[in-house]
Amino acid sequence: MTEAEHATGRDPNQAGRGGAARAARSATPAARAVVGNAALTTDTDPPSQPPGGAGAGGAAAPRAAAKAPARKPVNGRRAVDKAATGKATGKAATSRAARSTAATGEAASGPAGAPKAPAAARKGAKAGSKPEPAAGSGPAEPGHSDFDWDDEDSTALRQARKDAELTASADSVRAYLKQIGKVPLLNAAQEVDLAKRIEAGLYAAERLRCATDGELDTQSLRDLRWVLRDGERAKDHLLEANLRLVVSLAKRYTGRGMAFLDLIQEGNLGLIRAVEKFDYTKGYKFSTYATWWIRQAITRAMADQARTIRIPVHMVEVINKLGRIQRELLQDLGREPTPLELAREMDIAPDKVVEIQQYAREPISLDQTIGDEGDSQLGDFIEDSEAVVAVDAVSFSLLQDQLQQVLQTLSEREAGVVRLRFGLTDGQPRTLDEIGQVYGVTRERIRQIESKTMSKLRHPSRSQVLRDYLD
């Protein structure tokens, strides 16, 4: 069973009670009551409050409006006076709005929370004076020879750019936290009410999907569509009120290869899944249930995206288990545990432990700088074991030329048999049967030709030029 199963005591495959199919098959009385209350609405426009919360007030509102007495019209002089007064008031309000808009524009032109400029600076700005560029604010324009950018300046520029990116990321996180902090938290009763509205919306969506042409009248269609939209609004409200829960859980996984905002985004996907699967009849708080879905979404995303080389999820779990056992043995033994000790604790073979440790290694870029000055890269210190030495390459080329000259002293068939037998052409040696099929003779005849040819090659007149390359 997964973590979400322990939270609710049910199988996730059977946890679709919050889905549309479950809502259509076994809708709770609360959901049916919400749809029924919506059907009682006699007004042409949908009520401003959900049926479950408004009760009979939604249907009584039109009747109360009909019973309200009509206002008596005022006389002409009072109407003119009021119109003049309203016009003057409107001008004053327009003037105040213009001043407020100008003040807002001035505030928006600079960074949030920045101190006001001195009066002299504001005065100069009004006069149209252009500010002088700050010293060292960036490289000179093309054609300028005042700045000579050396390696030290380039390193400082890269560090400044990195600091700017970190600052921009921090500003984005701060703005996001400020935005989600405006939504108040929910209590248990509000969570249940929103869950009922979500379930009613899913039930209405299923009714609309399964309804045939002419089965529902215009009023029923209008009511079901309103309940569907109300369920979507309730879902959005439940999501926005629990975004801070995602942030609190994402903080525990920072520094593991993914940006903080990416962790929050993946956790939000898990939160959406929790809203769709939440069953309020179990009696659990929504945060208790959603925690497991959020954690699962974050850990799955880290397994898929945090590493340069993707590792399967089940292997990531084994790597995490090995790391946890290794830390425990380090505390108990006071030294690094051996692969045999780790294998005994995990009940696997020592070779398997070494293999898992190799999978857990993080790749390092060959362009990574080495040293404090940063003038060397890691790739400069790694030997290329497959690189060919220049002397060996020249010697091998001369050997090939000498061998071709020796083979030219043989007949065409003898040279061809030697080339095929030892793979001198394509590096693939052939058997006697394969060579016999090429020349249309038996393998015994090919063996005889090979033996005769090798005897010729052993003659000092041919072999002496090749023996020099054996040393």
Tokens of 7: 């939270």
Model pTM greater than 0.85? no
Whether 3-42+178-305 shares its CATH topology with 309-382 is answered no
- Give the whole-angstrom CA distance, residue 50 versus residue 73: 36
**Amino acid present at 89:** T
The answer to whether residues 43 and 50 touch, using CB atoms and an 8 Å cutoff, is no
Residue written as token pair 């808009």: 101
- Give the whole-angstrom CA distance, residue 230 versus residue 35: 11
Q: Where are the domains of the chain?
A: 3-42+178-305, 309-382, 390-470
- Give the whole-angstrom CA distance, residue 192 versus residue 243: 18
The answer to whether residues 298 and 267 touch, using CB atoms and an 8 Å cutoff, is yes
Residue 404 is classified by DSSP as H
Closest CA to 209 of 20, 37, 16, 17: 20
**pLDDT number for residue 127:** 43
- Give the whole-angstrom CA distance, residue 279 versus residue 180: 25
Closest CA to 302 of 341, 267, 353, 339: 267
How many Cα atoms occupy the beta-carbon half-sphere of 215 within 13 Å? Answer: 8
DSSP SS3 for 232: helix
Alpha helices in 242-305 (DSSP H): 243-250, 260-277, 286-305
**Largest distance between two CA atoms of the chain:** 137
Tokens of 78: 């009072």
The answer to whether residues 421 and 429 touch, using CB atoms and an 8 Å cutoff, is yes
- Give the whole-angstrom CA distance, residue 432 versus residue 414: 13
Choose the CATH number for 390-470 among 3.40.50.970, 1.10.10.10, 1.10.1740.10, 1.10.15.40. 1.10.10.10
Alpha helices in 51-75 (DSSP H): 51-54, 57-67
Closest CA to 197 of 239, 230, 221: 230
- Give the whole-angstrom CA distance, residue 365 versus residue 285: 46
* CATH code of the region 309-382: 1.10.10.10
Phi-psi region of 136 (alpha: psi -120 to 50; beta: other; left: phi over 0): left
**pLDDT number for residue 469:** 75
What is the CB neighbour count within 10 angstroms for residue 295? 18
State how far Cα 35 lies from the chain centre: 39
Q: Does domain 3-42+178-305 have CATH number 1.20.120.1810?
A: yes
Residue written as token pair 């249309």: 440
**pLDDT number for residue 153:** 56
Instruction: Look at the chain and count its residues.
Output: 471
DSSP SS3 for 377: strand
Q: What's the first-to-final CA gap in the chain, in angstroms?
A: 69
**pLDDT number for residue 313:** 85
Helix axes 286-305, 313-333, angle to 10 degrees: 100
* pLDDT per 10-residue tile (average), the chain, 471 residues: 45 44 50 51 41 40 41 42 44 46 42 42 43 44 44 62 69 88 91 93 90 82 92 94 94 88 94 93 92 94 87 89 93 92 93 92 85 81 81 85 88 91 88 92 93 89 80 63
Angle among Cα 335, 340, 346 to the nearest 5 degrees reads 95
